[in-house]
Amino acid sequence: MVGVPEERVDWIDESGSTVRVLPRSEIRRRNLLHRVTATFVIRPDSQLFVQLRSSSKDVYPGLHDVCVGGTVVSGESAAANACREIAEEIGVRGVPIFRLFQHRFRDEHSHSLTEVFACTYEGEVTLQPEEVAGGFWAEPNQVRSLIAEGSVCPDAMQTWRLYEAQCRAEGDFHRRVAEGRLEPVNCTEFLVG
């Protein structure tokens, strides 16, 4: 039986240029800088979808994540990855996503250049059991409490804090969308089936 080929990921330098394309496992093992996405899924009432990572995840197993995201494979755009991840992990399709900001994150488990997106969604979620052990909608204060308890992934904690700072400086996400200050990305062009 032939196995599924391992994903290939761009090892990038400080400027974001590709150094080499390597197997995902080598990127993880050597903790090399690579591209990832993180998408906030937010209801119109400002509740955020929080997922519980499965115990089989290669980084931060069993912790809460306030974003849906993943590693960008070589040749994939950040927008395509963000659309693919929200569709695969929680079944969100048919909504535009909006690019918010980029940031760097590094600890002993992960070293990433993260492209952050957000979308508005109020439908049902369908969890991918291999990736997501559970999930719920949370008010911003509940998210802050989870962070204070130490039960949120370190990279997601940083992303949330930067998101809150951006909202304080530039206005609430929904307001910026309504005012046309954020450019939508149509996910349907990236998703097949």
Q: Which amino acid is at 99?
A: R
d(CA 104, CA 113): 5
pLDDT at 2: 57
Query: pLDDT digit string (tens) for 10-67?
Result: 999 999 999 999 999 999 999 999 999 999 999 999 999 999 999 998 889 999 999 9
Q: Which domains does the chain have, with CATH numbers?
A: 8-178 (3.90.79.10)
3-state secondary structure of 56: coil
151 near 73, Cβ under 8 Å?
no
pLDDT at 188: 83
d(CA 54, CA 151): 13
72 near 81, Cβ under 8 Å?
yes
d(CA 135, CA 52): 6
pTM metric for this prediction: 0.94
Query: pLDDT digit string (tens) for 97-154?
Result: 999 999 999 999 999 999 999 999 999 999 999 889 999 999 999 999 999 999 999 9
174 near 42, Cβ under 8 Å?
yes
